[in-house]
Amino acid sequence: MLKGKTAIVTGSTSGIGLGIARALAGAGARVMLNGLGDPAEIEALRAGMARSAGVEVGFQEADMRHSEEIALLVSQTARRWGSVDILVNNAGIQHVAPLEDFPEARWDDILAVNLSSAFHAMRHALPLMRRNNWGRIINIASAHGLVASAHKAAYVAAKHGIVGLTKVVALETAQTGITCNAICPGWVLTPLVQKQIDALAAQEGLSPQAAKQRLLLEKQPSGEFATPEEIGALAVFLCSPAANQMRGANLSVDGGWTAQ
């Protein structure tokens, strides 16, 4: 379905971003990966994805805190493959602390990576999409883009911002072939979430399994994690003709979290 299309997925060397990148490549898109990690492991990941999907896969290590590096990510992708058709703003970081103890530097970094990076990426990608009158922008928000939790001030603020930004871009592109939507996952077992499980286990003296269940059942009525593969399948659907009139939507994949 996506043969001939070019996708950028930020934060795609693990977790949700990797699941989305694999799904888009599986649907025939060329994919530019981006993220952190060991260079040799990333190269093995890139080469394996290209082999299994039979598409070109690249990697660009832009730091999502810096607008000039994001501009380079978009321009280099367009130079290499001629266009940027699909942009998935997924990169994210987290820090947990009461607001009065929240380090200023961590606030700045989380807002930069989780919110401002999406603004910069969309600003550079939209003119390329307008040129072809076709594009798909998918912003990975969170259940925390719709509701809040204590001790996550920066993350909640950034994800609420992503939901609002998605709506603005959807309205500004409403009469074009470009759509912009947000996916709002609940708990997905990613390295970021695993760190929170480990922290809870250490703090409460729980086993890893008990900490995992505590975290899940506190918020997610299904008692099950969503998977990166499920998020990837939804991203592919949003790129399909069936989603042509889905604009500014916030799609929850949260096991009932925000239904409560």
42 & 84 share domain: yes
In this prediction, residue 255 carries a pLDDT of 95
| Percentage above 90 pLDDT, the chain | 89
Strands 6-9 and 86-89, bridge-based pairing: parallel
Enclosing H/E stretch for 6:
strand 6-9
Q: Give residue 180's pLDDT band: very low, low, confident or very high (50, 70, 90).
A: very high
Q: Which residue has the tokens 């996708």?
A: 7
Average pLDDT over all residues of the chain: 96
50 & 161 share domain: yes
Q: Give residue 143's pLDDT band: very low, low, confident or very high (50, 70, 90).
A: very high
195 within a domain of the structure (yes/no)? yes
In this prediction, residue 57 carries a pLDDT of 98
1 within a domain of the structure (yes/no)? no
113 & 216 share domain: no
pLDDT of 192 > 80? The answer is: no
12 & 47 share domain: yes
113 & 198 share domain: no
Q: How many CA atoms lie within 13 A of 106 on its CB side?
A: 16
Residue 63 vs residues 34, 66, 138, 172, 186: alpha-carbon distances, Å: 9, 6, 19, 27, 25
211 & 103 share domain: no
Tens digits of per-residue pLDDT, 41-97?
999 999 999 999 999 999 999 999 999 999 999 999 999 999 999 999 999 999 999
208 within a domain of the structure (yes/no)? yes
Max CA pair span of the chain: 56
Tens digits of per-residue pLDDT, 23-42?
999 999 999 999 999 999 99
Whole-angstrom distance, CA of residue 153 vs CA of residue 219: 17
CATH number at residue 84: 3.40.50.720
21 within a domain of the structure (yes/no)? yes
259 within a domain of the structure (yes/no)? no
90 within a domain of the structure (yes/no)? yes
Q: Which of 173, 81, 194 is nearest to 127 (CA)?
A: 173
DSSP-assigned letters across all residues of 27-67: TT-EEEE---S-HHHHHHHHHHHHHHHTS-EEE----TT-H
132 & 196 share domain: no
What region, left, alpha or beta, does residue 207 occupy, with left being phi > 0 and alpha being psi -120 to 50 degrees?
beta
- Over residues 126-147, the mean pLDDT reads 98
In this prediction, residue 117 carries a pLDDT of 98
Q: Which residues contact 231 (CB under 8 A, 6 or more apart)?
A: 16, 19, 20, 140, 183, 185, 188, 253
Domain count along the chain: 2
260 within a domain of the structure (yes/no)? no
- Catalytically annotated residue among 155, 187, 225, 257: 155
Whole-angstrom distance, CA of residue 4 vs CA of residue 33: 17
128 & 212 share domain: no
Q: Give residue 173's pLDDT band: very low, low, confident or very high (50, 70, 90).
A: very high
202 within a domain of the structure (yes/no)? yes
68 & 157 share domain: yes
In this prediction, residue 208 carries a pLDDT of 86
98 & 145 share domain: yes
The residue segments making up the domain with residue 221 are 189-225
196 is an active site residue: no
On whether the CB atoms of residues 84 and 125 are closer than 8 A, the answer is yes
In this prediction, residue 28 carries a pLDDT of 98
81 & 101 share domain: yes
| Percentage above 70 pLDDT, the chain | 100
Q: Give residue 194's pLDDT band: very low, low, confident or very high (50, 70, 90).
A: confident
80 & 198 share domain: no
Residue 141 DSSP SS3:
coil
